[in-house]
Amino acid sequence: MSVLSTGRHQSVSLRFALYALMLLLALVFVFPFLFMLTASFRTNEQIFAHSGSIGAFVPTGELTTANYAYVLGNGNILHFFLNSVIITTLTVGLGLIVNSLAAFSLARLQWRGREAVASLLVVLLVIPFEAISVPLMLLVAHLPGLGFEAGRLVLTRSWLNTLYVQILPFVANAFSIYLFYQFFRSIPKDFDEAAYIDGATPLQVYRHVIVPSSKPVFATVSILQGLAMWNQYLWPVITVPGESARPLMVGMQQFFGHTTEWGNVMAYATIITVPVLAAFVIFQRWFVRSVIGSGVKG
């Protein structure tokens, strides 16, 4: 195993100490979540009354669902929720197609300039999004786009305050292409050569040979990209000041800024967090693999 190896070499007391440490750390890692969940079922008075005891993390005493009723009934949380779902699914869906096709082209097709593009890609990997967010904002503020005015589709002069300004810039992703590229290169060449001999076109090879044998990398890219999109904050906060295209995270921050009702805030936070946490619990194995896959070599 490792340094803290168990088995015959490990004494009972050491093992006991390790268990205690693991459980203590587990508490450290779940207590804010427990607090959020518990407080979401309490009034301000109840939250304050329990804040100094273990009761802050355990749902005891007077509990209420009024916070959820309030948050769901007032404000636009469902609208923002829908926005976030649309943004996340469209970006991930389009991204899977666009990035895997590009990686297929780079890894499996012969064309001039391929090597140059592949090495450019590695350079692009080191540009953090933060470094380009300001000029990108200027760019999208002046791109012609489509919008609705009084129910009619009209041409607009800016992408600000739209759903697509939160989608289109993130579809093509250098890191996703890189992950696909690494994976596709590891698939034996004989697979596609056999298909080509049978008369398959490149796109058929992509669909029937490459995609079916690459499920792990598709899962990895979906999870990493999906998490990043769902939790995105910096970009919508600067490009979507209005309400109509606002995503959940900005909605949460705005709600937080305009209330002193902690119970409501925690109900809002719980509603946002539960879907992601549920996805994590269900696909835990895949989440773990994704992270390890993303860190194998940067």
**Cβ 73 vs Cβ 267: under 8 Å:** no
Question: Least distance from C-beta 256 to other proteins, angstroms?
Answer: 5
Query: Among residues 92, 249, 264, 286, which is the contact residue for other proteins, using CB under 8 A?
Result: 249
The amino acid that residue 104 corresponds to is F
56 binds other proteins (CB under 8 A): yes
- For 42-60, give the secondary structure using H, E and C: CCHHHHHHHCCCHHHCCCC
* Nearest by Cα to 241 from 144, 159, 170, 167: 159
122 binds other proteins (CB under 8 A): no
Residue closer to other proteins, measured from CB, 154 or 282: 282
**Cβ 171 vs Cβ 98: under 8 Å:** yes
127 binds other proteins (CB under 8 A): yes
102 binds other proteins (CB under 8 A): yes
Residue closer to other proteins, measured from CB, 30 or 69: 30
Stretch of 67-75, 146-154, 209-217, 233-241 contacting other proteins, by CB under 8 A: 233-241
Stretch of 60-68, 102-110, 149-157, 211-219 contacting other proteins, by CB under 8 A: 102-110
Query: Among residues 89, 191, 238, 261, which is the contact residue for other proteins, using CB under 8 A?
Result: 238
Query: Among residues 12, 150, 155, 281, which is the contact residue for other proteins, using CB under 8 A?
Result: 281
207 binds other proteins (CB under 8 A): no
Residues 158-187 that bind other proteins (CB under 8 A): 168-172, 174, 177
Residues 13-32 that bind other proteins (CB under 8 A): 15, 18-19, 21-22, 25-26, 28-32
Stretch of 59-67, 75-83, 209-217, 229-237 contacting other proteins, by CB under 8 A: 229-237
> Which tokens hold the place of 102?
């590009």
Q: How far apart are CA 97 and CA 172, in angstroms?
A: 10
Q: How far apart are CA 109 and CA 95, in angstroms?
A: 20
234 binds other proteins (CB under 8 A): yes
Residue closer to other proteins, measured from CB, 1 or 150: 1
Residue closer to other proteins, measured from CB, 150 or 197: 197
Query: Among residues 90, 106, 163, 240, which is the contact residue for other proteins, using CB under 8 A?
Result: 106
Stretch of 69-77, 136-144, 147-155, 184-192 contacting other proteins, by CB under 8 A: 136-144
Question: Least distance from C-beta 187 to other proteins, angstroms?
Answer: 16
Residues with Cβ within 8 Å of 207's Cβ and at least 6 positions away in sequence, in order, are none
Residue closer to other proteins, measured from CB, 126 or 150: 126
Q: How far apart are CA 249 and CA 257, in angstroms?
A: 12
Residue pointed to by tokens 């440490």? 21
76 binds other proteins (CB under 8 A): no
